[in-house]
Amino acid sequence: MRLFDNRYEPHQRKYTLALSMIERGARIRTVTQWTGLSKYCVQNLTRSYGSKTRIPCNRGRSPSKPAYFLKSLDVARESVALAYIALQCQAIPAAVVPDARTSLPGIDRGERVMDAFEVYRALLPEGLISLEYAILLIIELAERSALILARCRSCHDVMVADRLALHQELCPLCRPPPRASLPARPTERPRALLRQQEFHEGVEEDNADSTRDGHDENDADREMARGHE
């Protein structure tokens, strides 16, 4: 009996993962990528899976724009919550994964991703971030090329930040409101943001400790950031 269990366990895990992703509205291509099941197989599963709670999947390509996570205060807040849960569930690996798009998908990681997503939705049943976007966030934070977790320079809360954006230093709550009447000034990116750094438990600590001897080397940059908004 034990032999029987072990022999079929990998298949069972694939199908269980596939069904949990289908239930949450994942696209067919996403399910094939993470489970290794064929497109034909996933299509069959999708057709035959009868669930009243299932979220219908969208057609077309999976979302790919990391700017989504910064577009509104609500999404930005939920992104931080989801990122923390994903770190705790080890859906986001501790080390940087440069090619996360291709190397992250798999059964083990997929189960962790779904664990993280289910915890997120258990805490926020009306959560704004879909499974497809949750996967994008996890991939982006694993790669850390466009998005990172950083600390707000003002309130020191953790935030999801655009690695190369000018406004990365301040979380959405601490940013000054946009002043549309001001002309844009020529800007340079804050130096600190471009440094490649190690993460401490997935959070880039750089922003929190740059004030030394009463002099903040990024004051000028921040002023520019304000002026630019």
Give the footprint of Zn ion on this chain (CB under 5 A): 152, 154-155, 171, 174
User: Where does the chain have alpha helices with state H?
Assistant: 2-23, 28-35, 39-48, 73-88, 100-103, 107-123, 131-143, 191-194, 219-228
CB-wise, 22 or 159, nearer to Zn ion? 159
DSSP conformational letter for 158: E
CA separation for the pair 29, 19 (Å, rounded): 14
Residue 28 vs 225, nearer CB to Zn ion: 225
What is the C-alpha to C-alpha distance for residues 37 and 30, in angstroms, rounded to an integer? 10
Q: Please, what is the minimum distance in Å from the beta carbon of residue 75 to Zn ion?
A: 16
Nearest alpha carbon to residue 136 among 79, 67, 63: 63
User: What torsion do the CA atoms of 22, 28, 32, 35 make, to the nearest 10 degrees?
Assistant: -10
Q: How far is the CB of 73 from Zn ion (least distance, A)?
A: 11
Q: How far is the CB of 211 from Zn ion (least distance, A)?
A: 15
Distance CA 210, CA 221 (A): 13
Neighbours of 126 (CB within 10 A): 5
Amino acid letter, residue 119: V
Phi, psi at residue 181, to the nearest 5°?
-75, -20
In the bound state with Zn ion, the residue whose beta carbon lies nearer, of 31 and 159, is 159
DSSP 8-class letter at 211: E
Q: Which is nearer to Zn ion, 123 or 155 (CB)?
A: 155
In terms of CB distance, is 101 or 156 closer to Zn ion? 156
State which residue, 131 or 171, has the beta carbon closest to Zn ion: 171
Give the separation between CA 209 and CA 197, rounded to whole angstroms: 14
From the CB of 65, what's the least distance to Zn ion, in Å? 24
Q: How far is the CB of 129 from Zn ion (least distance, A)?
A: 20
Min separation Cβ 192 and Zn ion, Å: 16
